[in-house]
Amino acid sequence: MKKVFTTVVLAMALSACAGNAPVNNAQKQAKYNELSKCDVNIEPVSKVPMNKMEFAEYLSTQARNASADQFVIQKRMEILQLVGWNDSVADAIATCGANRKNKRKENASGVFEIMKSSTKDAEEKRALVEAYSSWETHVTSQTPLAKQDFDSKVGYYKNM
């Protein structure tokens, strides 16, 4: 009698697990699809900065946005670890982050060229180039040292 009861309980448990497996796999695949989505449609600035204060603010805003992008990428990777690691999804997440950084740099490059061509003073132009270069480094690496260097250079450029 005990063997029959144990067999029935075991069979019910296994059938319950088997019934949930497709749902669990479907949920996991849905989460993978959600994590793999990437929006690189970063709109260029609608109003081009016309002076160094506006350009410095533009760079600072883009640096904050790049930091937010990096935070989202890190959180997606953490969620992926919780759901179950998948190399192709991890690659899609990392590629998305790189594409967003490249799009930000591409958009800022045009604004930088406009500012550079309109800057006549040699010292101001040097400060502009240094601020932009440190911004690119900060957006690419996202390290505290790069942020500190960017803050210093953009502050110098803005206040000269």
Give the domain extent around 73: 47-159
Same domain for 19 and 66: no
Average pLDDT, the chain: 90
* pLDDT(19) > 80: no
Catalogue the long-range contacts made by 125-134 (C-beta closer than 8 Å, 24 or more residues apart): 127/153, 127/156, 127/157, 127/160, 128/52, 128/55, 128/157, 130/156, 130/157, 131/56, 131/59, 131/156, 131/157, 132/59, 132/108
Same domain for 59 and 13: no
42 part of a folded domain: no
32 part of a folded domain: no
pLDDT for position 4 = 52
Q: Could you report the per-residue pLDDT of 28-58, keeping only the tens digit for each? A: 999 999 999 999 999 888 899 999 999 999 9
Please state the length of the chain: 160
Least confident of 4-13, 29-38, 144-153: 4-13
- The residue among 110, 106, 107, 74 whose CA lies nearest residue 93 is 74
Residues 84, 104: Cα–Cα separation, whole Å: 31
pLDDT for position 3 = 57
Same domain for 153 and 105: yes
Higher-pLDDT residue of 34, 10: 34
Same domain for 17 and 59: no
pLDDT for position 13 = 52
Q: What sign does the CA torsion over 68, 95, 143, 154 have? A: negative
Q: Could you report the per-residue pLDDT of 101-129, keeping only the tens digit for each? A: 999 999 999 999 999 999 999 999 999 99
Same domain for 115 and 67: yes
